[in-house]
Chain A
Amino acid sequence: MDFTQIVPSLPNLWEGMLLTLKLLLLAVGGGVALGTILALLRLSSSPLLSGLAKAYVNYFRSIPLLLVITWFYLAVPMLLNWITGEFVAIGAFTSCLVAFMMFEAAYYCEIVRAGIQSISSGQLNAAYALGMSYGQAMRLIILPQAFRKMMPLLLQQSIILFQDTSLVYAVGLMDFLNMARSKGDIIGLPHEFLIFAGAVYFVISFGASTLVKRLQKRLAV
C-alpha cells in the first residue's frame, strides 16, 4: 500500500469533488423546489392534481435511480430529436442533473408534505382571516414554519443524495469517485485510491450527519 502517490493526483480529485458538489447543490435546490410544488399539488383539494402528484411520487419511488439516470441520458435526447426533428446534445451533466432533480423531488415531496401537515390548520385560518390569499398564506406563513421543522429531514435526504451522485459513473461523468477510480487505474494503485475515496465520503457524510443531529436537537427545544 502506497498512499503517497495520491498526493500528485489531488488537484484532479478536487476537480471531481467540485463536480460532485455542484451536481449536489443544484439537484437539492431543484429537487426541493419541484418537491414543494408536488407537495402542494398532493395536498390540493382537486382529486386530479393530487392524483397526478401521487402517481409521480409513487412512480419515481418505485424505480432505481440508476435507471432514471441512464434513461435521461439515452432516451431524452432521442425524444427531443423526435419532437424537434433536430439533434440536440444535452450533455451528461445536464441529463444527470435533471434525473437527480426529478428523482429526488419524489422524496422531498413526501418530506415537505409531512412538514406542511404538521402546521396546525389554525395558522392557515388566521392567515385567511387577515385577508391573505392561498399563495400568500403558504409563502409567508405555512412554508417558512414547515421548512424550519423539516430542515433535518431535508438535510438527511441530501446526504443520501451526496452518496448517490456517484452513480453518474454510468454515463461517464467525472465526479469524485469516478475520478479516483480512473486515476487509480492509470497510476496502477486502484486499491489505495478507492480506500482514500471511501474515507473522504465517510468523513463528509458522517460529519454532516452528526451536524444535522445536533441541529435537530437544537430545533427540538
Chain B
Amino acid sequence: MSMISIKNVSKWYGEFQVLTDCTTDVSKGEVVVVCGPSGSGKSTLIKTVNALEPFQKGEIFVDGVSVGDAKTDLPKLRARIGMVFQNFELFPHLSITENLTIAQQRVLGRSQDEAMQKGMHYLDRVGLKAQANKFPGQLSGGQQQRVAIARALAMDPIAMLFDEPTSALDPEMVNEVLDVMVELAHEGMTMMCVTHEMGFARKVANRVIFMDRGHIVEDCAKEEFFGNPEARSERAKQFLSKILQH
C-alpha cells in the first residue's frame, strides 16, 4: 500500500518552474532516498508532501488524504507526518523537554504526563536523556538533530520526511545522526530522505530517486541504482562520479 503518492506534481515560483511533472510513490515501510545537485528541486519536492510548499499542478496523497485539496485539514495531516530539517529548527526559547512535549500537548491534546513519558522515551532512544533540562543552544549540532528526530517521533508519525538532515553538521557528527536514521529504517518506518549520504542510501534505502532541474530523472531500486551505473542517465552518472569520487 502506498503511504505517500506523488502524481504529476508541478510547481512554479512566478515564471520559474521548480518542479516539473514529478511522479513517485513511497510504500508503507519503504525507505526512499532523494538525491541530486543543489537547486534540483529535491527539498521543494519533499516539502510539498506535508504542504510546507504549495504546488500548482498534480496531486499528492498521504495515507489516502489529498494534500492539495483545499478542504484538507492541513494541521491535522501534518501532525501525522514527521519532518526533520537541515537546520534542526529546535525551538531555542524552550528546553529540550518542552521541545519534545509542546506539540504533543497542544496539537494532539495529550496530558503532560503522557507527553513527558513519550518524549523521554524517544530522547532516551537517541541517547540524550541526560540533556533533558538543557536548552537547544547548549547542545552540539549532532545532538540537536537527534533531539529534532525524537521530537518528530514523539508525535507517532505514520511517515518521516528528512530534508538534508546531515548537511549542516560537522563531519564527525554526521554518523551519530545517520545511526539513528538507520535504526529507524530497520524498524520499518516509512521514510523519504533528501540526502547526499550515499553510504546511508546503500545501507538502508529501498529506492533511490535522482532529480535534476525539477525533474525526477531516475527512480529505481537501490541495487539497480548503485549496481548498474552504465544504465544511468548522463546527468546521474556525472553527479555520482562527483560525489562518490572520494
Enumerate chain A interface residues (CB-CB to B < 8 A): 120, 122-123, 125-133, 136, 140-141, 144-145, 148
Chain B residue numbers with a CB within 8 Å of A129 are 50, 52, 78, 81-83, 85, 152
- Which of chain A's residues have a CB closer than 8 A to the CB of B91? 123, 126-127, 141, 145
Please indicate which of the listed interface residues B102, B103, B108, B155 has the most CB atoms of chain A within 10 Å of its own CB: B103
Query: Which A residues touch B93, using CB under 8 A?
Result: 144-145, 148
**Structural contact, B103 and A131, CB atoms closer than 8 A:** yes
State the CA gap A120–B87 with chains docked (Å).
10
Which of the residues A132, A140, A148 comes within 8 Å of B75, measured between beta carbons?
A: A132
Cα distance, A145 to B92, chains bound together (Å): 8
The interface residues of chain A lying within 8 Å CB-to-CB of B80 are 131
Residues A130 and B107 in contact, CB atoms below 8 Å apart: yes
Residues of B within 8 A of A140 (CB): 102, 106
Say whether chain A's binding surface is mostly helix, strand, loop, or mixed: helix
User: CA A148 – CA B234 in complex, angstroms?
Assistant: 51
CA distance A141 to B135 in the complex (A): 14
The interface residues of chain B lying within 8 Å CB-to-CB of A126 are: 83, 85, 89-91
Which residues of B approach A to under 8 Å, CB–CB?
47, 50, 52, 74-76, 78-83, 85, 87, 89-93, 102-103, 106-108, 151-152, 155
**Does the CB pair A128–B107 fall under 8 Å?**
no
Min distance, Cβ B151 to any Cβ of chain A, angstroms: 7
Q: Which of B47, B74, B78, B92 contacts A130 (CB 8 A)?
A: B78
- Asked whether, in the complex, the Cβ of B52 is within 8 Å of the Cβ of A132, the reply is no
Interface pair A131/B75, CB less than 8 Å apart: yes
Task: Enumerate chain B residues within 8 angstroms of A131, measured Cβ to Cβ.
Answer: 75-76, 78-80, 103, 107-108, 155
Do residues B87 and A130 form an inter-chain contact, with CB atoms below 8 A? no
Q: Are A125 and B52 in contact (CB under 8 A)?
A: yes
Interface centre among A125, A126, A144, A145 (most CB of B within 10 A): A126
Shortest distance between the CB of A4 and any CB in chain B (Å):
52
Given contacts A125-B52, A141-B91, contact A130 B103 (CB under 8 A): yes
Residues on B with beta carbons closer than 8 Å to the beta carbon of A127 = 91
Whole-angstrom CA separation of A122 from B108 in the bound complex: 22
B76, B92, B152 pick with most chain A CB within 10 angstroms: B92
Q: A122-B89, A128-B78, A130-B107 are in contact. List 11 more A-B contacts (CB 8 A).
A: A120-B87, A125-B52, A125-B85, A126-B85, A130-B79, A130-B102, A131-B108, A132-B106, A133-B75, A145-B93, A148-B93
A122-B85, A131-B76 known; A136 vs B107 contact (CB < 8 Å)? yes
Q: Which residues of A contact B102 (CB under 8 A)?
A: 130, 140
Write out the residue numbers on chain B whose beta carbons fall within 8 Å of the beta carbon of A132.
75, 103, 106-107
Q: How far is the CB of A141 from chain B (nearest CB, A)?
A: 6
User: Shortest CB–CB separation between residue A157 and chain B, in angstroms?
Assistant: 22
Once bound together, how far apart are the Cα atoms of A5 and B70, in whole Å? 74
Shortest B146–chain A CB gap in Å is 15
4 smallest A-B Cβ distances: which pairs? A131-B79, A126-B89, A130-B103, A129-B83
Nearest residue, chain B, Cβ from A131: B79
